[in-house]
Copies of this chain bind each other. A is one copy, B any other.
């Protein structure tokens, strides 16, 4: 019998269609081998990107030259721009404003054939560190309400360049999905006086059927009502609402957790394309008792069809308990 499950935070129902039950080997996607060739993110091509915003340069090499280990540049085709006025206005019943914001690219390594999953721990730690530093910097621009950090890995997951990178988009409005998630968490908090994410962590540790990895500071789980097969969430075990507040000593733990999760997913599913997004609190808000930052990672194994677009209602052919069982037993 298929099962309908409700995401406890956002109130979204998903169909866990176990009769279509899919095991890791049932998913067919094209594994993408990197082709190489000219790449604007490789050493020597620094002038093919806009001038760098930030870089880690252990050898003190000059700006926009080789020598960096991690580099942040504006997106060459930015979805939003930092210069200008918002000019919020109406046109009849419609509302619009100028596309003010920031759109940055984090080039995670100079090595074209490396991935986040194959970088060493200090390099992955640097990626998570620079996410924090860029958010702290952008937070000073009070026009910017939200910073979304995300990674598209693989062309079919939306990456337009194969060199390993992630992106940051800061927006002058709160995205709808963010408002919904925070307001769902707030409703729960108002009723229970507890953070729903903290409650989820407690219940998942107790049930131990959807946990795939746990260490001192982080836990990785398959959520109860996942939209996609092998959807995985990484949460800090201690309550914290804002990603940019992550203390130095947790960065390495987060790097270990992410690398472990990606290693398990790559081993189980043969290096699928994936997306991850850091879900965090609005930048201009004080610390929130009811919201808890976390990372949502989605291997791109299924196509999204009309039903999902029309309804916000997902059909998932793999139960999270089955997915967790596969991923948990893989040792990285």
What residues of chain A have their CB less than 8 Å away from a CB belonging to chain B? 1-6, 8, 10-13, 15-17, 19-20, 77-81, 84, 92-99, 148, 150-152, 155-159, 167, 169, 171-173, 175-178, 180, 196, 199-200, 203, 207, 224-225, 275-279, 296, 298, 303-307, 309-313, 315
Contact of A148 among B158, B173, B310 (CB under 8 A): B310
B94 touches A6 (CB 8 A): yes
The answer to whether residues A207 and B92 also contact, given A77-B20, A173-B13, A312-B177 and a CB cut-off of 8 A, is yes
B150 touches A310 (CB 8 A): yes
The answer to whether residues A4 and B312 also contact, given A176-B12, A203-B93, A304-B304 and a CB cut-off of 8 A, is no
Chain B neighbourhood of A196, CB < 8 A: 93
Contact of A4 among B11, B19, B99, B150 (CB under 8 A): B99
The answer to whether residues A13 and B175 also contact, given A19-B77, A200-B93, A310-B279 and a CB cut-off of 8 A, is yes
Which residue from chain B places its CB closest to the CB of A178 in the assembled complex? B311
C-alpha gap A169/B199 in the complex (Å): 33
C-alpha gap A315/B148 in the complex (Å): 13
Chain B neighbourhood of A6, CB < 8 A: 94-96
Main secondary structure of the interface of A (DSSP, over half): mixed
Which residue from chain B places its CB closest to the CB of A200 in the assembled complex? B93
Among A169, A176, A177, A305, residue most surrounded by chain B Cβ atoms (within 10 Å): A305
C-alpha gap A200/B180 in the complex (Å): 25
Which residue from chain B places its CB closest to the CB of A94 in the assembled complex? B224
Among A10, A94, A148, residue most surrounded by chain B Cβ atoms (within 10 Å): A94
Chain B neighbourhood of A298, CB < 8 A: 306, 309
Chain B neighbourhood of A152, CB < 8 A: 305-307
Which residue from chain B places its CB closest to the CB of A152 in the assembled complex? B305
Chain B neighbourhood of A173, CB < 8 A: 4, 13
The answer to whether residues A306 and B276 also contact, given A13-B175, A311-B177 and a CB cut-off of 8 A, is yes
A2 touches B94 (CB 8 A): no
Contact of A305 among B92, B275, B307 (CB under 8 A): B275
CB distance from A260 to the nearest CB of B (A): 20
